[in-house]
Amino acid sequence: MKFSLWKYPIHFLAYGFGAGLMPVMPGTFGTLIGIGFLYILLPLDPYYYAAIVLVAGLLGIFICGQTAKDFGKKDPGNIVWDEIVGFLVAMYLVPHEWYWVLAGFVIFRIFDIWKPYPIKAIEKNLKLGLGIMTDDIVAGLYTFLILHVVRLSFDIL
């Protein structure tokens, strides 16, 4: 069965508005879309930021799961909604300067590609949408912790 990104909007979202269709490094391009969303969300109160990311994560379970199911794959590399949400988790309450965003981007991509424990186990053991979303959210949490440890160690607010 062939699905159109325009006819099935959840696929358009799952593919990060088309970023996931890049022929190489779709996850990296999806994370770049996450940077765009970060700059849209930065002016918001932290509670609103967190609420939007939570809703995006919960919706992502359905969006990513349905898209994977429609294409008959467990975790297609072209699905990048999870990278977008995972990156937004990573950048919660991080300073807004470009070098923090760059550091978050690099660290998040390393965790997303390397998949240290328990990320690989989560990806392998959870089903469809939940597994697709959770491994990137955990990568985002690892990144969040590193960025905030560095920030607090150097007393950077």
> In sequence order, what E strands does the chain have?
none
The whole-number pLDDT of residue 8 equals 84
**DSSP-assigned letter for residue 107:** H
Rg value, the chain, Cα: 15
Residues 104-126 pLDDT 10s: 999 999 999 999 999 889 888 98
Low-confidence ranges of the chain (pLDDT < 70): 1-6, 156-157
Tokens 């955990």 belong to residue: 138
- Rounded to whole angstroms, the Cα distance separating 84 from 33 reads 6
Whole-angstrom Cα distance, residue 103 to residue 67?
A: 30
**CB atoms near residue 54 (< 10 Å):** 12
Identify which of 75, 70, 48, 92 has the alpha carbon closest to the alpha carbon of residue 134.
75
Q: What are phi and psi of 5, to 5 degrees?
A: -60, -30
Instruction: Say what the pTM is.
Output: 0.94
Q: Of 20, 43, 44, which is closest to residue 30 (Cα–Cα)?
A: 20
